[in-house]
């Protein structure tokens, strides 16, 4: 699928893809300026994925990003093991931060997979840091 053909996608994904096509990656000045102008609901639609928040690696796998899903699963297992040795509050905080990180990376990762053919194992490639 090329970057201008988003017809088989749902309207929500079309909106996200069109925004990424128009303004580029989340770390560009154009993206940041356009993102600031959006209302809160549209900011949330572009930058946050609730399915990825709750289903993490399963959602990546469902979207067809199986390489990224394997990495997310491996990191989740390792993090789960580490959390067992930490105080409960710290462990819950780390797990929540990990889930939020996945939720804010899923949309752009899917965009890169579909439009740029990014089939890497890195679920965080091309992001703002």
Q: Over the stretch 23-53, which tens digit does the pLDDT of each residue have?
A: 988 888 898 899 999 999 999 999 999 999 9
Using DSSP, state whether 60 is helix, strand or coil. helix
Q: Where do the structural domains in the chain lie, given as residue ranges?
A: 11-116
Query: What would the DSSP string read from start to end of 62-97?
Result: HTT-HHHHHHHHHHHHHHHHHHTTS-HHHHHHHHHH
Among 4-13, 17-26, 28-37, the minimum mean pLDDT is found in 4-13
Quick one: what percent of the chain has pLDDT higher than 70? 91
> What span, in angstroms and rounded, lies between the C-alpha atoms of 84 and 69?
22
Task: Over range 81-90, report the average pLDDT.
Answer: 95
Q: Which pTM was predicted?
A: 0.85
Task: Over range 75-82, report the average pLDDT.
Answer: 96
Looking up tokens 């390489």, which residue turns up? 67
């Amino acid at each position: 699928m090329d970057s201008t053909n988003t017809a088989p996608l749902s309207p929500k994904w079309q909106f996200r893809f069109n925004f990424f096509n128009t303004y580029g990656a989340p770390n560009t000045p154009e993206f940041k300026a356009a993102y600031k102008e959006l209302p809160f609901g549209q900011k949330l639609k572009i930058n946050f994925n609730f399915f990825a928040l709750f289903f993490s690696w399963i959602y990546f796998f469902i979207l067809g990003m199986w390489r990224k899903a394997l990495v997310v699963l491996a990191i989740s297992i390792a993090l789960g093991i580490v959390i067992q040795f930490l105080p409960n509050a710290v462990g819950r905080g780390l797990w929540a931060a990990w889930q939020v990180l996945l939720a804010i990376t899923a949309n752009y990762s899917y965009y890169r997979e579909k439009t740029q053919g990014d089939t890497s194992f890195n679920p965080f490639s091309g992001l703002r840091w």
